[in-house]
Amino acid sequence: QTFHSLGVYISLQQAEKILQSMDKDGTMTVDWHEWRDHFILNPLENMEEVVHYWKHSTVLDIGECLTVPDEFSEKEKRTGMWWKQLLAGAMAGAVSRTGTAPLDRLKVFMQVHASKTNNMNVFGGLKGMIQEGGVRSLWRGNGINVLKIAPESAIKFMAYEQIKRAIRGQHETLRVQERFVAGSLAGATAQTIIYPMEVLKTRLTLRKTGQYSGVADCAKKMLQKEGIQAFYKGYLPNVLGIIPYAGIDLAIYETLKNMWLQKYSRNTADPGILVLLACGTISSTCGQIASYPLALVRTRMQAQASIEGAPQPTMLGLFKHILSREGVLGLYRGIAPNFMKVIPAVSISYVVYENMKQVLGVTSR
């Protein structure tokens, strides 16, 4: 079943042969010690198939989409399984982002408008948005947020493959530190190319009723009024935010997974999907906490560019201004709705991902 889920088709006889090669006591079940001894004592040319289940067992999209891209085997690239995995991931991201769009819009609103004086909270913010534009207004900016998943995933995947090749050569697998470097660079490449869509998302999210008729109208008005540079406002804090996010996310995920295995995996080598989901959720949340101030500054810079005659501070200038006026807590405005959307986003994206894989024939599970 596991081989089939990886796109490697073996017969029942072959499966029995593999089991017999590990099974010492003739029970036709393989316990942890037999599994461990088999891989320690038998020389292997390629461990890729063994660890493959781990890599594709979970996909998380919590709307930030800065995690290190997945790696695919040569067989998956040849058979076309890789694009099906990417498509399933993109669909999962689209549904989970749409499901949590009101919380995402609220986060952006609080990043830009919340302060010590107005004391905007979750319920007050949602109520204000509904009063201004009705229930449908809660999904403003979601269209472009979903649209940018596909190009971002594709660019990140291609860039990651090229950077991986440059670091390790054609067939080598990356170590954790190298995955962090390659993932951060791939993320920065993707963000550089799709960043204008990020700026448009913020503008459309914050827009008032009737301000823009759609994405094209918003882009046209920005170009006419502010010029091409408006599409790269807040670019520096955005790219800088990728490094702590990807680094912390990857390091914590690997650490938690290994800790669980060492402590609880006496009888099994597979931690199970719930453990991997928990590791992924905790690591993504920690990555967000570290990079959140940079995300807030990015959003403020994007928003202030739209106000005529408003000062256009630099990244450091805005950091100093927020710290002097509101203290460290000011750098975390809007983090409450951001945390509120993590568990529903992870749950939706996992369910959709698993179902999409079955529809596309990626897995037999």
- Torsion from C-alpha of 49, 54, 55, 61, nearest 10 degrees: 160
Cα 15 to Cα 23: distance, rounded to the nearest angstrom: 12
Entry pTM = 0.75
Instruction: Output the pLDDT for position 365.
Output: 38
Instruction: Output the pLDDT for position 345.
Output: 87
Instruction: Output the pLDDT for position 149.
Output: 87
Instruction: Output the pLDDT for position 242.
Output: 83
Please tell me whether residue 11 adopts helix, strand or coil conformation: coil
CA distances (Å), origin 2, targets 6, 50, 80, 239, 269? 6, 10, 19, 38, 13
Residue among 282, 240, 330, 223 nearest 58 (CA): 282
Cα 158 to Cα 315: distance, rounded to the nearest angstrom: 30
Domains recognised in the chain with CATH numbers: 58-352 (1.50.40.10)
List the helix and strand counts (H, then E) for the chain: 17, 0
Q: Which residues of the chain have pLDDT under 70?
A: 42-74, 170-174, 265-271, 363-365
Cα 127 to Cα 297: distance, rounded to the nearest angstrom: 25
pLDDT digits (tens, 9 = 90+) for 332-358: 999 999 989 888 888 888 888 888 888
Instruction: Output the pLDDT for position 323.
Output: 94
Neighbouring CB atoms inside 10 A of 329's CB total 11
Cα 355 to Cα 295: distance, rounded to the nearest angstrom: 32
Contacts of 110 (CB under 8 A, 6+ apart): 120, 125, 333, 334, 336, 337
Instruction: Output the pLDDT for position 90.
Output: 86
Sign of CA dihedral 139, 141, 144, 148: negative
Cα 302 to Cα 273: distance, rounded to the nearest angstrom: 38
Cα 101 to Cα 39: distance, rounded to the nearest angstrom: 46
Instruction: Output the pLDDT for position 57.
Output: 45
